[in-house]
Amino acid sequence: MEESMQASNAKATCKRGAAYTIKEDELLCIAWLEVSQDPIRGAEQRGSAYWKRIHEYFHEWKNYPPHCFTSDHNESSLAHRWSTIQDATNKFCGAFEQVNNRKVSGIGIKDHMGMAMSLYNSNEGKPFGFVHCWTKLNKAPKWEAIVSSLKEGHGSSKKQKSNEGSSCQSSSLNEDGEAGEGLASGGRVQRPKGRKWEKAKEKRAKSTKDAWAEIMANKQLACGKRVEEKEAKKEERHQAFMEIQRQKVALEQKKVDTDAENAATARLSEDSKIMFADTSLMDENQ
């Protein structure tokens, strides 16, 4: 029950931070499923180590697609948020099951969802705001085990004590107060995929992360080169423009000099006519 205690303490002590986005909620659900269903480290994880791993997974994968967001939520904040998501989503699962048990013919999954949303709103007095989380958790073996345990009364402390000493493949609860990894839907024992499969999965995940890191680095390098090329072309255009302006100024100056020279030549020609005019044929006034 250490996880539940930690989540409760976090609710009481942590300061209210920034509101969670849909992407943050979705990645938190994914992180919870990955850490909870990890057979390499086993189901028996201490609450502190458990939420430390969820915190590390959350902040490691927030930088990669399809997530890509900025967040600084700490372990207490994540535990508090998960407690809120788990409580609301558990209640919605109960409403959804009630709708399914009615066995009304001629309605599809969208109609079931709408009726379940209405039933939840009627029961809780507020709309269900975690459909995006339910989509991630629904049909996951770990989540179905919890829902099944709660439905059958396995979540009580009395049932937990009666199951002490059983293996992690039984229907017992782990020390975090949640269903063990071996439970499938309906309380049946589900055989784990094994350490080799999980190690291969971790290797694939690491390869995917490394590949994305390389893609992002290449993208940044390409962007840097494009910026450099853009700046070089901009400078080239500027230099060409300045050269055209210099040539234009030179032509204007040449035109001004030519006009001045022509004017001086005209004045000199007029003066020459006056100086060398034949005055013998002129009267006194001329």
pLDDT tens column, 159-201: 444 343 333 333 333 434 343 333 333 334 344 455 565 666 6
pLDDT value of position 73: 93
pLDDT value of position 41: 63
Mean pLDDT of 239-250: 90
DSSP state of 183: B
pLDDT higher at 193 or 50: 50
Q: How far is CA 203 from CA 10, 37, 181, 193, 198, in A?
A: 33, 16, 21, 15, 8
- Asked if residues 209 and 201 have their Cβ atoms less than 8 Å apart, the reply is no
> What distance in Å separates the CA atoms of residue 266 and residue 1, rounded to the nearest whole number?
111
| pLDDT exceeds 50 at position 157 | no
DSSP state of 163: T
Mean pLDDT of 117-140: 92
pLDDT higher at 234 or 39: 234
- Residues near 133 by Cβ (< 8 Å), separated by ≥ 6? 25, 26, 29, 85, 89
pLDDT value of position 134: 93
**β partners of residue 189:** 183
| pLDDT exceeds 70 at position 158 | no
Q: How far is CA 174 from CA 46, 138, 152, 180, 282, in A?
A: 9, 21, 17, 6, 134
Q: How far is CA 20 from CA 3, 57, 176, in A?
A: 21, 17, 24
